[in-house]
Each structure stands twice: as structure tokens, then as C-alpha cells.
Amino acid sequence: MPTQPFNKYNTFVESLAEKGHNLQSDALVIALSATPQLASFTTLANVVEIAYTGLSNLAARTLTGVTSAQSGGIYKLNATDLVIAATGTAAAFQYVVLYNSTAAAGVQLIGWWDNTTPVSLTSGQNFTVDFDATNGVLQLQ
């Protein structure tokens, strides 16, 4: 993950155009949800997050090693892979949501990935959000 396509929330486009994000320096955070995501969602309250009981290193949900560059008119945002570890049985999730927790206008939704099937973790298992070099976190063109 994310080998699945990145899906943006409609509000992200307007917020980006109106100086609502600095993707390279703002705090970008991952939320996990079992509830289908809609492009029309406008706030984090629309995202039903799982209970994070049974998961450790939750601070790792904030992206680190964030870099960005533009080449040929395509902007790519990269970050260090995130590893979420299970210390017990965790709630199943299917959607990995990206949001900006320090946007100029408050918490702002960016987009999500759909794992296509629910992910269930038990003690000792990990889930890696793998931002590969080709796709990065997201691309804008």
C-alpha cells in the first residue's frame, strides 16, 4: 500500500488553490477507517476512524521525511513509509485516509487509498503504508 490509486477529496482542490496547505511542511497524518470514503466528504468528522486499541506506535501516523519536487509540471510528494504495529487484536480497516492536521484553516482532508478488502491485524503483525518512489504519497499535475 499504496499500490491502490490515490483518491482526493473534492475540498482538497479548493483548499490547495486558496493557500490552505503547505504539503512539504504541514503535519500530514494517516487515519484508518472501515467506512467507505466519498469524494464529497468535507471534514475529518465525516471519516469514521477505527478504535486504535491494539495498535502501537500511533505517533507514526504522522508522515515523516516529507519531501517534494516538481518535474515536467508534475508535483510529487514523498514521505518515509509508515509502519503501524499491532500489540493486540485491532479493529479491521480498509481505507487509509490522509489529512493535514495543521492546515491554515484547521484540519483539512486530502485523500484516501482503498485497500479493496478489510485489513485485520493481530498481535505481532504490522501494516506498512509504503510510499514507493514511483508514486510517492501523491502527485499533482
Answer whether residue 118 shows pLDDT above 80.
yes
User: What's residue 137's pLDDT?
Assistant: 93
Nearest to 126 by CA among 56, 78, 63: 56
**Overall pTM surpassing 0.75 (yes/no):** yes
Nearest to 57 by CA among 104, 110, 135, 127: 127
**Segments forming the whole domain that contains residue 96:** 7-140
Q: Tell me the per-residue pLDDT of 34-56, one tens digit each, with 9 for 90 and over.
A: 999 999 999 999 999 999 888 88
User: What's residue 55's pLDDT?
Assistant: 87
Position 61 in a domain = yes
Number of domains, the chain: 1
User: What's residue 32's pLDDT?
Assistant: 95
- Judged by DSSP in three states, 83 sits in strand
Answer whether residue 2 shows pLDDT above 60.
no
Position 129 in a domain = yes
The residue with cell 507514526 is 60
CA distances from 14 to 11, 62, 99 (A): 5, 23, 14
